[in-house]
Structure 1
Amino acid sequence: MSSFTVVVTTTLPLIALISLILFFLLPLPTSAAARTILRRGDAIAVEDHATDFLVSPDGTFACGFYNISPTVFTLSVWFTRAADRTVVWTATPGRPVHTRGARLAFDHQHGALILTDYDGATVWNSTSTPVVSSLARLDNSGNFVLVDAGSTGHVVWQSFDSPTDTLLPGQRFTATRHLTSRGGRGRLLAAGYYSLGFSDYAMLSLFYDNHNFSSIYWPNPYNNYVANKRKIYNFTREATLDDLGTFLSSDDATFAAADRGAPAAGRVRRRLTLDADGNLRLYSLGGNTTWSVTWMAFGNPCIIHGVCGANAVCLYAPGPTCVCAPGHERADPGDWTKGCRPLFRRRDGCERSTKLVALPHTDFWGYDLNNGENLPFHECADRCRQICSCVAFQHKEQFMECYLKSVMFNGRTFPGLPGTVYIKVPADYDVPKIQVNQWKTLGGGLAVQEYIPQCDIAGGAESFLLNVSSDSIKSEPGKKQVWSYLYGFLSALLFVEAVIIGFGCWLFSNRGMFRPSRVWAVEEGYKLITSNFRRYTYAEIKRATANFTDVIGSGGSGVVYKGAKAMLKIAVSCLEEDRAKRPNMRSVVEALLSVEDETRL
């Protein structure tokens, strides 16, 4: 009994010691580190980004340090169900923090969230004025909020008031808020050139601004607000996306997800994102972990402004592909949004002689020096040559419309696009042939093929076809084309006229189909009535007068003979000067004096 007691008393301290050592040495499970709220005085360190973060009650969203790269982090909110942990909000998209020393602290004194970098410098602050808040939480909607210390639970600050590039269901979109795209490849942390917001006319619009050029590209800038089915001057300026996938705006900008109301395994999550390529897309996340596009603003990305940059043309076949305009080269081999630069030097004066390079079925949107005039091609070309700031012009021959361009921007081409763009280059400049490969002739033009990187983020190489006029490097391509059409039309017209004249001569000649023939009297009389008079041959008159045997009288102009022509009684008179030739008369100068029906004689 005593020995058993000794064993027990010596074993228990050993077990306790081992348990204590394991408690301090072994890490806690990951699920135990995830939080649902932050209280005043709490903090999250960037070193613990893999285990220390906030989660929404249903586990759909998470908030914490998001690793852009192994050494760069941002304070973000992301989807946990998505395979790529899609980010829907970032505190400072253009100002990341380092992988060491950065902290998100719930300031005890002011009750605000403060993000600091490795050196203690404040990168972001949730509030600009001191407030009293008791906790921070992440809602099931994806909204990161600060709640005050009172019993009302009033929201002091929320991430929904400062969206980045994504709008979530239930998030109000007002006049003071914008969606801004992220930069493309190589510029993931920089803001993009595209934004969504309300214009000065209170119309929800997509804007392009690269700090040199700016424009609205959605809704269609070619149309007015009536054609775009929008309302203006409605200063409510509010829009929202619901859980079903329907988007409603105060200016009547309305659209819905393709799977709206469709059954799905589990709850369908949605987000409206302005992507880096400038396209506004609505995404749905069903039972799997992959997003699907259920609506987008543009089916043809070439319509989006700035896709290929300045002095470049976008082709859609079926993905967007960029090509530099003739006489230009890429400004940045890794970024098509930088456009192309000219290979020739432009002078300030207009004294330099120029020639024109034609791009059929092409247009550069906007930046017109005029509002569009009705001018023939030659006047339009002369106008552009006389204006130093005119670098190109578009001419629509069918409508006689002339558009002078000060900048070649937002270029696009596709079959059926009316109009041809003529680029003004120095007359002594030889347009390089290295840019294109002549493939085959297509009805007055050349189909050219070139292998270049695509415009999209994925990159890669793809071939394309661009129709270029066969006279594109002539000094005045339009003139030759116009005169060729004119000469062809005149030649065809003269040929048709010659054929008609020749056929008419044969038709009415003695050898034609109306040569003398014996016809019925009724038909002969009808011809005489309808044509008034007819010329008869000497042989016909000789037979009708029985060889001039029956004289019925004489007049001032000559002898009158009685004759008969079928069922008609006729009288023939010879001129006085030909009386001596009465029996052997060879020419008759007066064919018929009177014609009467036999029944009336």
Structure 2
Amino acid sequence: MYTPLLFIVLSFLLSSPFSSSTLLRITKGSFLSVEKPSNILISEKSVFSSGFHAVGNNTYCFAIWYTQSLDDGSYTVVWMANRDRPVNGRRSKLSLLKTGNIILTDADGLTVWATETTSTSSVQLELYDTGNLVLHTLEGKILWQSFDLPTDTLLPQQPLTRSTILVSSRSQSNYSSGFYKLYFDDDNVLNLLFDGLATSSVYWLDPCLRPWQAGRTNYNNSRIAVLDPAGHFKSSDDLKFSAADLGIGPKRRLTVDVDGNVRLYSLNEKLRSWVVSWQAISNPCSIHGICGPNSLCTYAAESGRRCNCLPGHKMKNHTDWSYGCEPDFTPSCNNDHEVAFIKLPHVKFYGYELGYFENQTLEWCEEECLKHCDCKGFQFSYESDNGYYLCATKALLFNGYRSVGFNDPMYIKLPNSKLSSYDKPNQEFRLDCSHQVTALLQRTYKKKQENGAVKFMLWFACGCGGVEIIGFLFILLYVMYRNREGSRVSDNGYRHVDIGFRKFTYAELKKATLNFSEEIGRGSSGVVYKGILSDNRVAAIKRLAETDQGEEEFLAEVSTIGRLNHMHLTETWGYCVEGKHRLLVYEYMEHGSLAENITSNTLDWQKRFEIALGTAKGLAYLHEECLEWVLHCDVKPHNILLDSNYQPKVADFGLSKLFNRGGIGNSSFSRMRGTRGYMAPEWVFNLPITSKVDVYSYGVVMLEMITGRSPTGAVHTMDDDGGMERRRLVTWVREKMHATTGNGSWIDEIIDTAMDGEYDKNKMELLVRVALQCAEEDKDTRPTMTKVIEKLLGHKNDDFKKSFGHENNQF
């Protein structure tokens, strides 16, 4: 067929003297056209691209995006010039005028966006590999830059200042400005604001906390926050956090998402997908406005966040939950006997109070709400600190949240005649995306004079091309049919592949483990068995010890465990809860535990150093960076597993007490947790339990890995009189180091003999010093796990002694 040749001829006939191509920069008098898809700016190393990005049918925005597409073929947009005023897909252009001004014009020539810059000298528009689009003079003076006008995303090295603000998109498919904003308030504190259709409120920081109670400070006037290339975020109000995959390398972005959460993403280059490495809010239902008025947000382990209308209400817009729900009855204010109250247990509504009334009865609160036509209901809660009940009447039912953690009920006002029909589970409404309509831009413009010969050739080529496409589709469908036939199995015709975090039945796991026949590990929390799942994945299945823990509580905790995701944590594939059966399903680790490998002498010094670094990264994620703040409380070699490449993965995390953000400092446990020899002194002396208990255990484990000696026993040494003395492992190592300081031989005396003297002394000495600092008796002198990572990574500078400051004897 000759269709390809015809398209080449047509392309030549229709092309302009300036062919479409990617550009490194544009100069005065140049422009980018929406009608030339390849007419884009690209950064020097092709990290970012800038041009017209389709946001709907015949609608475009001038944008910046990562050049590499994701696995689904989409592109990640990080900036838009005209997100709220898209332009037409014909005759729209971005022009750099001779005056030095950049303008974006629609098909009718109307300017929809401009930089409002002027320059008499030569200027050019250039896209940097940082993602910054810069208009500058040839001498390097910046006249305008996109970093000063962010949309919903902050890139590394891009400052968030007092004059900038991040605004979420309206939805996943609608790039226009949404309802959620990240900004510095007048008190110099970084906040998240819900700015909805009718109401607005700050929900992060927690409105119930003062800045200093949340670890922030308003005693600053710089108002600046920056994400650095290594994944550290630091704000002038003392907000600090780090990416789970801390370090130079991955592409990152900080985005205010459409659901009102702020998330730090890292790009997995291999899978071509973004991974959340930090987020501001762990419970999505605490985000204001997420379900709209007259609705309730609930969070379930399996299904995630859901929105439901209150009893007696119906969904207002089936394509957008921000509109919430509306009454399906006519409110009445004429007769108190026509209305009554329905009780909603475990429900809380934030804000919009008509009044607070202390030390009142339920009957009094009902009467107070009935007096006011604009009272929609009331919260009736017991104030344990004061010993009385508090009545809070509500003018608006907004920010509704249902959780078993709320002990007190909410009462809403409904017509008395229909009260019995409402006293049922309310109907669940789902978003209906099938009816969403993308509006076409209505623009009129003059058509160019058509060339009859070219038009005929175009129609002819399209006809021939259509025949080719039909033939190709026929072949493709045939191949798909054959592949489908070949993949059939006896069970209902299709092979089912189980992937992701899911619920297993007890029968499934009993079959996978051959009735729990092959035991591969055992601990205080249960026994671990090897199993093969229905999709042939090898799994480690932990059968937890019988407990009186309720199903709802177990599901809440296992939901948190399932959402923890880090390369140095064992991946949790699912769980089972049936009756008293509680099981967790993990990935299987080929080389077993660190405890097995220490005794089998399979680890050289390089593997040991990488295990120390990887374990530190996993614990740092649990302590400081994951979606729920988690203490491990039983760090020991048996709970550090090794994959096929001897990379470490921390296991059994999340089985100890879970902490919400800000709760670690005041934590308490009903009993001691951990394993003898690895437990921090705080457990023994009944001191407050913080993340430093895991730091202590980590230090002891590292010393055991380096020396090959167990801390659960004792090291026998000879005293001055020739007798034998017993020493704890930590004490013995510390004494060896101080007794031989200066001659460098102490490391040779404590190192595991299995290494046969083949090791890097500098790196092993570094690891020992870090481990000893972690194992200090005083928890305040122990470093955080993030600091441990920084110190271990310091060896790359080939000057670890300087980085550790031996001169000031900090060890």
TM-score (norm 1): 0.65
* 1:85 corresponds to: 75
Residues 224, 349 of structure 1: alpha-carbon distance in 2 compared, 3 angstrom cutoff: farther
Residue 291 of structure 2 corresponds to residue 305 of structure 1: no
- 2:351 is matched with 366
Secondary structure of 2:214's match?
coil
Equivalent residue, structure 2, for 1:485: none
Partner of 2:509: none
Correspondence for 2:246: 260
2:153 aligned residue (162, 166, 170) = 166
The offset of 1:329, in angstroms, is 0.8
Q: In 1, are the aligned partners of 2:309 and 2:429 still within 8 Å (CA)? A: no
Q: Does 1:180 align with 2:167?
A: yes
Please tell me whether the aligned partners of residues 321 and 455 of structure 1 are also in contact (alpha carbons under 8 angstroms).
Answer: no
Q: Residues 341 and 67 (structure 1 numbering): CA distance in 2 closer, same or farther, change over 3 Å?
A: same
1:328 equivalent among 288, 313, 316: 313
Distance 1:279 1:411 in 2: 17
Contact kept? 1:307, 1:337, Cα under 8 Å: yes
Equivalent residues in 2 for 1:518-537, closer than 5 Å: none
Q: 2: distance between equivalents of 1:23 and 1:278?
A: 46
Q: Does 1:39 align with 2:24?
A: no
Of residues 107, 114, 123 in structure 1, which corresponds to 2:97?
A: 107
Q: Is the 8 A contact 2:267 2:274 kept in 1?
A: yes
Give the 3-state SS of the residue equivalent to 2:206 in structure 1. coil
Q: In the alignment, is residue 314 of structure 1 matched against residue 301 of structure 2?
A: no
Change in CA separation of 1:342 and 1:57 when aligned onto 2, cut-off 3 Å: same
The code of the aligned residue for 1:236 comes to: S
Q: Is the 8 A contact 1:133 1:146 kept in 2?
A: no
Residues 1-150 of structure 1: matches in 2 within 5 Å?
33-49=21-37, 51-83=38-70, 84-108=74-98, 110-127=99-116, 132-149=121-138
Asked whether the equivalents of residues 315 and 429 of structure 2 are also in contact (C-alpha less than 8 Å), the reply is: no
Deviations 1:342-392 (A, max 9, x none): 122224557554211000010010111224523222222222222332211
Confirm or deny: 8 A CA contact 2:180 2:195 kept in the other structure.
yes
Q: Give the alignment partner of residue 396 of structure 2, picking from 379, 396, 407.
A: 407
> Which residue does the alignment assign to 1:224?
210
Aligned counterparts of 1:295 and 1:455: Cα–Cα separation in 2: 30
Runs of 5+ consecutive residues of structure 2 not aligned to the other structure: 1-8, 437-550, 553-811
Structure-1 separation of matches of 2:305 and 2:148? 34
Structure 1 residue 284 corresponds to structure 2 residue 266: yes
Secondary structure at the aligned position of 2:354 is classed as: coil
Q: CA RMSD in A?
A: 3.0
Cα deviation for residue 224 of structure 1 reads: 2.0
**Residues 416-451 of structure 1: CA deviation (Å, up to 9, x unaligned):** 212100001232334545x95xxxxxxxxxxx4855
Q: CA deviation at 1:397?
A: 3.9
- The verdict on how the C-alpha distance between 1:210 and 1:129 changes in structure 2, with shifts beyond 3 A counting, is farther
Contact 1:127 1:157 in 2 (8 A): no
Q: Aligned residues: percent identity?
A: 37
Q: Which amino acid aligns with 2:395?
A: S
Task: Give the letter for the 2:312 counterpart.
Answer: G
The one-letter amino acid of 1:200's match is D
Specify the alignment match of 1:357 in structure 2: 342
Tell me, what secondary structure is at the counterpart of 1:379? helix
- Cα deviations by residue, 1:441-486 (Å, 9 ceiling, x for unpaired): xxxxxxx4855326999x9xxxxx99xxxxxxxxxxxxxxxxxxxx
- Describe the superposition over 1:11-51 as per-residue Cα deviations: whole angstroms up to 9, x where unpaired: xxxxxxxxxx99966979x99821101011111111102x1
Count of aligned pairs between the two proteins: 419
Which TM-score applies when normalising by structure 2? Answer: 0.49
Q: Could you say what secondary structure the match of 2:260 adopts?
A: coil
Tell me the distance in 1 between the aligned counterparts of 2:159 and 2:403: 39
Would you say the 8 A contact 2:43–2:128 is kept in 1? yes
Helix, strand or coil at the partner of 2:213? coil
- What is aligned with 1:547? none
Q: Report how far residue 172 of structure 1 moved.
A: 1.1
Query: What is the one-letter code of the residue matched to 1:314?
Result: C
More helix by share: 2
C-alpha change, 1:357 and 1:111, in structure 2 (3 Å) is: same
For 1:386 and 1:45, the matched residues in 2 are separated by 64
User: Using a 3 Å threshold, how does the CA distance of structure 1 residues 270 and 133 change in structure 2: closer, same or farther?
Assistant: farther
Do the aligned residues in 1 keep the contact of 2:102 with 2:114 (CA within 8 Å)? yes
Indicate the structure with greater strand content. 1
Q: Give, in whole Å, the separation in 1 of the partners of 2:209 and 2:156.
A: 30
User: d(CA) in 2 for partners of 1:26 and 1:183?
Assistant: 38
CA distance in 1, matches of 2:200, 2:427: 30
Q: In 2, Cα distance between the equivalents of 1:455 and 1:26?
A: 42
1:349 & 1:131 partners in 2: Cα distance? Answer: 72
Report the Cα distance in structure 2 between the residues aligned to 1:131 and 1:34, rounded to whole angstroms: 27
SS in 2 for 1:33: coil
Partner in structure 2 of residue 155 of structure 1: 142
Q: Which residue of 2 aligns with 1:191?
A: 177
User: 2:220 matched to 1:234?
Assistant: yes
1:249 to 222, 231, 235: 235
| Most deviating of 271-280 and 374-383 | 374-383
Q: How does 1:437-516 map to 2 (within 5 A)?
A: 448=425, 451-453=428-430
Aligned partners of 2:40 and 2:49 also within 8 Å: yes
Moved more, 351-360 or 277-286: 351-360
1:296 aligned residue: 279
Please tell me the residue identity of whatever aligns with 1:284.
S
